[in-house]
């Protein structure tokens, strides 16, 4: 993998790791990005989903991106994103293959 591509891949891993950490913090505090309360039924849905599909944490993301820097290939599921401001009844989940 070229140095530029390797750096881009590492930057992507750092971004997703930070996103995971921020998302986890917001869900634990039951707040949206704009510090509004997430509805109780949405919070319950989030915890029910987590019991079925355990979230991919920032440490797993970091390790997967580090061990893939020679292949430029990654697949992961269940990165729970921060609660949405305009649709707080929705639990966004990111899955990716690249």
pLDDT in tens, the chain (98 residues): 456 767 777 788 788 888 888 988 999 999 988 888 888 888 888 888 888 876 676 666 767 666 655 556 667 778 888 888 777 778 888 887 77
8 Å CB contact between 81 and 46: no
Mean pLDDT of the chain: 79
Helix, strand, or coil (residue 79): strand
Chain CA centroid to CA 48, Å: 17
Query: What is residue 4's predicted lDDT score, i.e. its pLDDT?
Result: 75
Query: What is residue 14's predicted lDDT score, i.e. its pLDDT?
Result: 82
In our burial notation (b when 16+ CB lie closer than 10 A, e otherwise), range 11-42 reads eebeebbebbeebeebbeeeebeeeeebeeeb
User: pTM score, two decimals?
Assistant: 0.73
8 Å CB contact between 95 and 78: yes
């Amino acid at each position: 993998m070229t140095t530029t591509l390797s750096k881009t891949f590492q930057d992507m891993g750092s971004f997703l790791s930070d996103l995971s950490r921020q998302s986890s913090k917001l869900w634990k505090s039951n707040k949206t990005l704009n510090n509004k309360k997430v509805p109780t039924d949405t919070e319950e849905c989030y915890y029910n989903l987590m019991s079925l599909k355990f979230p991919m944490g920032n440490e797993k993301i970091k390790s997967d991106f580090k061990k893939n820097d020679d292949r430029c290939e990654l697949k992961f599921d269940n990165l729970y994103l921060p609660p949405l401001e305009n649709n707080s009844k929705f639990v966004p989940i990111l899955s990716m293959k690249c």
